[in-house]
Amino acid sequence: MGSAVARRLGSGRTLILADHSRERLDRVVTELGAEGYAAQGVPTDVRDRAPVERLARTAAERGRITAVVHTAGVAAATASAGRILDVDLLGTVYVIEEFEKVAVRGTSLVCVAGLAGHMASIGGEDEAALATAPAEELLGLKAVTALGDDPTAAYILAKRANHVRVQAAALALEPARRPYQQPGQRGRAAHRVPDPVVGRQVRDRAARGDCCGGAARRAV
C-alpha cells in the first residue's frame, strides 16, 4: 500500500520512504528510482519513538513537508496482541506526534486505519483516554489491559484508537480554531482513511461469531 501511495503522489516531489525491513525498503527505493522518482529510504521501526523522530527530522531537512501517509500495521491473523498494540496503536501515535512537530501550513497527515475500529464497544471515558493520553500511558489504560491476549480484540481497539487519535489531532490542527489566518494560507490537517479490505475481513469474522470472542470489542 505504501509503495502504491508513493507512486500516486510522488511525481515531482521528493519521497521519503520508511519500513522496518531494510531489504524491502532498499528494493522499493531502487524500483522507484528506476521509474524516475526521487526517493530516499529511512529504516524505521514505528514501535520505538526514536526512529520515528529521526524519520520526521530527515523529512523536514529535505524541505517543506506536503504530505505524510502512514500505512504501517500488522494483522490479527499474523501478529500477537502485544505486537498489534505496539505497531498499530503506539506506532500511529508516534507518527502523529513526531510529524506534528515538523508540519507546516499545508501539510496533510493521513493515517490508514481499518473499518474494524467501528466495531469497538467502549465507553466515552475510555475513548477519550485513548484519544488524549500520553503515549507512555496508553498500554496501561484499562481498555487496553482488559484485552488479554486476544489479537482480534487488540486489532479492533487499536484501530478505534487510531480513529479518535486522528480526530483529536485534527481538532488541534484545525485552522479555524487558530488565530487570524492570512488569505490564501492553508493550515495543517490530519485525516483518517479506512482500509475496506481489512474491515470486510473483521466484519465477516464477526458475522461468524468468532470475532473478539463473540463480542464486538475494540482495543496503527
Q: What span, in angstroms and rounded, lies between the C-alpha atoms of 142 and 66?
A: 37
Within a domain: 2: no
- The separation between the first and the last C-alpha atoms of the chain, rounded to the nearest angstrom, is 14
The parent domain of residue 140 ranges over 44-214
With bands split at pLDDT 50, 70 and 90, how would you rate the model's confidence at 22? very high
**Which residue type sits at 173?**
L
Within a domain: 203: yes
Q: What span, in angstroms and rounded, lies between the C-alpha atoms of 109 and 185?
A: 17
Q: In CATH, what number is assigned to the domain containing residue 90?
A: 3.40.50.720
Within a domain: 28: no
Tens of pLDDT, residues 182-213:
444 444 555 544 444 334 443 444 344 343 33
Say if strands 189-195 and 108-114 run parallel, antiparallel, or are unpaired: parallel
Q: What is the pLDDT of residue 175?
A: 53
Within a domain: 8: no
Domain total in the chain? 1
Within a domain: 100: yes
Tens of pLDDT, residues 108-148:
999 988 788 888 888 899 999 999 999 999 999 999 999 99
Within a domain: 30: no
Within a domain: 19: no
Nearest-5° Cα angle at 91, 106 to 50: 85
Within a domain: 119: yes
The CA-atom distances, in angstroms, between 111 and each of 72, 170, 185 are: 9, 12, 23
